[in-house]
Structure 1
């Protein structure tokens, strides 16, 4: 009996099958069987009783008696067309679905904190900054410091650009953070910036500042590879909105940086991007090259993206400062789509002040990305943070609970015992690293109290955030539907259980009803997490843990700042970085802390993080590369 999905769903309903998962699983099994080389591809897929049994096992329902299976098959109607008709459209990655996620807890809600913030755009030149005799001594200078020198014409954008290009070329063989140098474009922009500044046509603090783009942002005239095998020569005929806005601000694009293939991890088609503090480690991802290059003093700032940790994780690993803005604050037009309801673009730099200056240039509607909210951004570096209500996630700062391993099985082979003991050793070491790092989190609270900040303990709403992550997988699988169906997913570097090829295939079993239910649960998460920010303005949290997942789902902003270096007594990292741990640590490597804020309260978030960095100076630490 041939089938189409609509007829099959109707037949299942008539047969009393109410599980949302079962029909999709069964249809997929039939469609996969149709792809066999021995099958006539011109005919619709067939379904068998054996397939019903297999689908029932995967769906956790049934088993069905023979008479019910016969009734289901007999009830199928051959309409064969809806899937194929849509697939024939060849929809490009740039086309979003006909729905838009807005994380505001209630329609028409306004940004109270932004309205209260003084309307100061936050930068004026510092005349006390002096130019060194060797321009490379500015490699780790902040955007604000460089801008003061450029404004006063104590240095030129051309000299600064040439210095950063030389460093990119010198250290790329060690750190593998560049996919494409945009040298010709950069030199032309730098010369133009110098001419304009000399003529008194100053565009602002980013004028003449060299920067790098994560290579999921389209730049006309250059490849946009998405870090993935099979896409090495892909290009687009226009610039991403963020690129256009930084061009308008006078910034100088010097390179397109690495990202893990299709925005996962730090492994791309050319290798693995490395951590400047310990090149034996990957830089984490997926904004791998952006964080690594900034930390290595090879660019003044970079643009990264985050769907579920891709700014936070590499900023933590590399000791850079990363701002993941509120969802819908920065337009994603011209950026690779992974998840239309979770993707966010944001700056990675050397300080919270730098992040604010960059965000000021790139935020706001562009008339194309309909998810963008017209929220204000009034950056005021002199904002009195003592007027803010500061909370901290109590669970993140409590003493870690006792670590217990499960009892060994009563019987096991020699090989099973060997694998179990290896896994137990890895878990014990991972636990030791987390316990060591915990002291840095606790020290943050001590420092804030010393700064005169009163801290209020808060708790993250208890919701099944992990169960909502299927939304990301479903959207990503749709974004790369053709990659899976064409078999070109074999060209991607990583092919493991947790990698995109397998995740895209698995996501095809995610039923529409459950996708909608997860979105309804997500609405509860938005409401309940937003309610926390009615009680406090800023929340201090560890950079990993439940908050990372929760706030990416709810769209709340985060600012990740360096929080010191691990000492010589730190537990050793694994001999091999397999990419499984977000922060594998080791002596002399950075740790971070994360500050969270209410939706579109990014300016106050940056002001608070700036005050912390002025009090600690951890963001001024940098690795020794030679």
Structure 2
């Protein structure tokens, strides 16, 4: 059977708002008075969990509740920093399955770099691989490129609200050092001297790391995250920390709302909001985002960037804020698909500080032939999707790929959100118990404060069964992708974004073209009465079997080149 169609960001947010059983919990737990649990208390609470007990059963429960409640209180009182991961770690690799061994290598080049242009905007919006080629030929220096971006940040970052911290002097020092190394014959790799921006839930020692949230706005990183350290070792130049929806949800942060460069009247979606906005606006060569459930895909769709969500566990998350230990991923956001391979090649790999990470090589050969690749597609998704999704499939067909019908099973995918909400509420339990969640700017029904309170009513039994469902979805997705090189479709169609986040499969979102839209809310609905229409980007997605990001990038780059929409710039930002 064909699965239920989810066609928009609004549908995903709707699942987040209503996916877990229970009602809103209220008030600051620190001020609550612990009352004795009675049979009447139990009877009133049974409807929350869809159970029904007899009077005798309730009486028996009451006799054992005191010890149970004491254990829970002791657990709440025990300090657990955000860095403390659960003992059980998620692994997307299924027992008995084999995965292609890969060397850590990039092959071929995405295209001909040409000569370095004179106009600063032309340089700023160029792909990373071209900028690297110009530096290698001595036509561009890191110091020059860094100054171009710092000038653009000074002019445009304020109106887009896409940076929380700008590290201008640090960037200048790093750029000068990278130029000196190049002059001495030491080049660290393709990102040597390339300026980038970092989502503000990824720490750099000594720099603010606010998580976009009012309670943490004075927080400073004590150690540099592994991903940021790897970029530094590769010679990349840090321009600053980008805005993030508070605690990695949405585009509202403690001091603003990050904007879409193609229509600054609307938010850039979330939660890698600032990373996508800054990249699309030409304020950095590339950026780093994170995704738990759409936080790379959604802002890339709205801002028109290329976003690569890697296979779960491929990139160590040590030093990044934990929202959901079994779902969080770190990945690149770029203006052009090919650039994602250069960034992933640097940040790829395990670290002892992240028990869910592991080493798996990453290769991507741009000279490889695409003819004969087996590309899954779902006719119903495309029929109900956008014309630009269908054009993306046509572009793939023109490359000689073999289209293969694809569908996933009808399963209760929304129930998986029980796990996300429980882990997120555990990660930020102190906010709920202390009442500090009231300091967060976003307080709507679907926002974190209400979600964290509601998660108190998730039963342990339901949580375990949601994890069992996750195992079923993993087996199904591996089976349905067996024999395929990739799958193409609308970003939010057919529960693919939801399912593959939980199975750990990679997703690449790429700009397919432009369409006319009114100013939109976070969920994608028209804001107010709609008003004027704006020409804004539209993206489509590719998914692949575990660890086959190289295929995604090669195929995505070729499709992007055929569609010809990636080079278009936001109006008024030249």
Structure 2 length-normalised TM: 0.90
Which residue number in structure 1 is paired with residue 497 of structure 2? Answer: 548
Give 2:99's aligned residue: 111
In the alignment, the residues of structure 1 paired with residue 274 and residue 140 of structure 2 have an alpha-carbon distance, to the nearest angstrom, of: 27
**Aligned equivalent of 1:581:** 524
Counterpart residue number, 1:102: 91
Q: Is the 8 A contact 1:559 1:596 kept in 2?
A: yes
Q: 1:36 to 1:158 in 2, by over 3 A?
A: closer
Per the TM alignment, residue 182 of structure 1 is displaced from its structure 2 partner at its CA by: 1.3
- Measure the CA separation in 2 of the matches of 1:75 and 1:475: 27
The one of 89, 109, 129 aligned to 1:144:
129
The whole-number CA distance in structure 2 between the counterparts of 1:553 and 1:287 is: 19
Displacement after TM superposition at 1:125 (Å): 10
* 1:394 is the counterpart of 2:342: no
SS across alignment from 1:529: helix
Task: State how 1:241-256 maps to structure 2 within 5 Å.
Answer: 241-256=226-241
User: CA separation in 2, counterparts of 1:502 and 1:172?
Assistant: 31
Q: Structure 1 residues 613 and 602, CA, compared in 2 at 3 Å: closer, same or farther? A: same
What's the counterpart of residue 357 of structure 2? 372
Distance 2:307 2:28 in 1: 46
- The 8 Å contact of residues 158 and 194 in structure 1, kept in 2 or not, is answered as yes
Per-residue deviation, residues 424-475 of structure 1 (Å, max 9, x unmatched): xxxxxxxxxxxxx611111222222223222111102222111111100000
C-alpha contact (below 8 Å) 1:147/1:206 kept by paired residues: yes
> What are the Cα deviations for residues 266-295 of structure 1, in whole angstroms up to 9, with x where unaligned?
111111111111111111110000000100
Aligned to 1:588, the other structure's residue is in SS state strand
Cα distance in 2 for partners of 1:262, 1:487 equals: 16
Is the radius of gyration larger for structure 1 or structure 2?
A: 1
Assess, with a 3 A threshold, how the Cα gap between structure 1 residues 236 and 489 changes in structure 2: closer, same or farther.
same
Q: State the distance in 1 between where 2:135 and 2:198 align.
A: 22
- Point out which structure has higher relative CO (alpha carbons under 8 A, 6+ apart): 2
Over 3 Å counting, the alpha-carbon distance change for 1:439 and 1:392 in structure 2 is same
Gaps of 5+ in 2: 1-20
1:433-472 alignment, distance < 5 Å: 438-472=386-420
* Aligned pairs (5 A) from 1:18-167: 39=33, 45-62=35-52, 64-65=54-55, 68-74=57-63, 76-78=65-67, 81-107=70-96, 109-112=97-100, 115=102, 120-122=105-107, 129-167=114-152
Residue 386 of structure 1 aligns to a residue whose secondary structure is: coil
Superposed displacement of residue 74, structure 1 = 4.2
Shift of 1:304: 0.2
1:509-535 per-position Cα deviation (integer Å, ceiling 9, x unaligned): 111111111111101111110112212
| Kept after mapping to 2: 8 A contact 1:296/1:625 | no
Q: 1:270 to 1:474 in 2, by over 3 A?
A: same
Which residue is equivalent to 2:15? none
**What value does the CA root-mean-square deviation take over the aligned residues?**
2.5
**Cα-to-partner distance string for 1:335-382 (whole Å, 9 max, x where unaligned):** 010110000000000122100000000001122212123211111111
Task: Name the residue aligned to 1:534.
Answer: 482
Partner of 1:485: 433
Partners of 1:283 and 1:314 within 8 A in 2: yes
Segments of 5+ residues of structure 1 without an aligned counterpart are 1-23, 401-436
Which of 488, 494, 501 is residue 449 of structure 2 equivalent to?
501
Partner residue in 1 for 2:10? none
Distance 2:297 2:248 in 1: 13
Residues 127 and 285, structure 2, Cα contact 8 Å, conserved in 1: yes
Structure 2 residue matching 1:521: 3-state secondary structure: helix
Q: Secondary structure at the match of 1:129?
A: coil
Residues in 2 aligned to 1:591 and 1:34: alpha-carbon distance in whole angstroms: 44
* 1:90-125 alpha-carbon deviations (Å, 9 max, x no partner): 111011000110011225x3323x55xx87423669
What secondary structure, in the 3-state scheme, does the structure 2 residue paired with 1:387 have? coil
- Matched pairs, number: 548
Gap change, CA 1:301 and 1:77, over 3 Å in 2: closer
8 Å contact from structure 2 (residues 113, 130) kept in 1: no
Q: 2:160 matched to which residue of 1?
A: 175
Q: Deviations over 1:119-142 (max 9, x none)?
A: 742366988532233334311000
Cα distance change of structure 1 residues 34 and 138 upon mapping to structure 2, 3 Å threshold = closer
Contact 1:276/1:625, CA 8 A, preserved across alignment: no
Cα deviation, residue 78, structure 1: 4.5
* Aligned counterparts of 1:125 and 1:480: Cα–Cα separation in 2: 43
Partner of 2:572: 625
Is the 2:500–2:506 Cα contact (8 Å) retained in structure 1?
Answer: yes
What secondary structure sits across from 1:171 in the alignment?
helix
1:36–1:148 distance in 2 versus 1, CA, 3 Å: closer
Q: Distance in 2 between matches of 1:612 and 1:583?
A: 30
